[in-house]
Amino acid sequence: MKIINLDQAVLNALELISKNPPKKINLKSFQFPFVVGSGNAYYTGTILFSQQKAIFANENNFRDKAKTFSDLVKKKIIKEAVIISASGEKDSVWQIELAKKIKLHTTLLTCSANSTASKLADKVQVFSKVDEPYTYNVSTYLSMITGATKESPEEIKSYLKKLKFPKNFSRHQNFSFILPDKFSAIAPMLEIKGRELFGSKLNLKAYGLGEAKHAKYVIPCQKELVISIGEKNKYFGHPSHRWDVDLPKTSNFGLILALSYYIIGKIQEAKPNYFKKNIENYCKNVEPKIFNKQKPTDVIVRGNIK
List Cβ<8 Å contacts ≥24 apart for 215-220.
Answer: 216/176
Residue 145's closest CA among 50, 48, 51?
48
Confidence of residue 58 (pLDDT cuts 50, 70, 90): very high
Q: The whole model's pTM is what?
A: 0.94
Q: Looking at the structure, tell me whether residues 97 and 192 fall in a common domain.
A: no
Summary count for the chain: helices (H), strands (E) = 13, 11
| CATH code for the domain in which residue 62 is found | 3.40.50.10490
- Say how many residues make up the chain: 306
Task: Using CA atoms of 305, 252, 188, 242 in order, give the dihedral in degrees to the nearest 10.
Answer: 120
Residue 40 placed within a domain? yes
How many Å apart are CA 140 and CA 188, to the nearest integer?
17
Rg for the chain, CA atoms, rounded:
20
Q: Considering the domain boundaries, does residue 102 fall inside one?
A: yes
Q: Based on the domain organization, do 108 and 175 belong to the same domain?
A: no
285 lies in some domain: no
Crossing angle of the two packed helices 187-198 and 274-281, in degrees rounded to 10: 80
Q: Are residues 122 and 162 in the same domain?
A: no
* Domain housing 38: 24-126
Segment 125-166, tens digit of pLDDT: 999 999 999 999 999 999 999 999 999 999 999 999 999 999
Q: Report how many domains make up the chain.
A: 2
Residue 23: band (very low, low, confident or very high) from pLDDT cuts 50, 70, 90 = confident
State the DSSP H helix or E strand holding residue 18, giving kind and residue range, or none if neither: helix 6-19
Q: Flag whether 203 is in a domain.
A: yes
In whole angstroms, give the CA distance from residue 24 to residue 52: 17
pLDDT tens-digit readout, 71-113: 999 999 999 999 999 999 999 999 999 999 999 999 999 999 9
The average confidence (pLDDT) of the chain is 96
pLDDT of residue 26: 87
Return the pLDDT at 24.
Answer: 87
What would the pLDDT profile of 193-246 be if each residue is shown by its tens digit?
999 999 999 999 999 999 999 999 999 999 999 999 999 999 999 999 999 999
Gap between the Cα atoms of 40 and 254, Å rounded: 14
Distance of alpha carbon 287 from alpha carbon 281, whole angstroms: 9
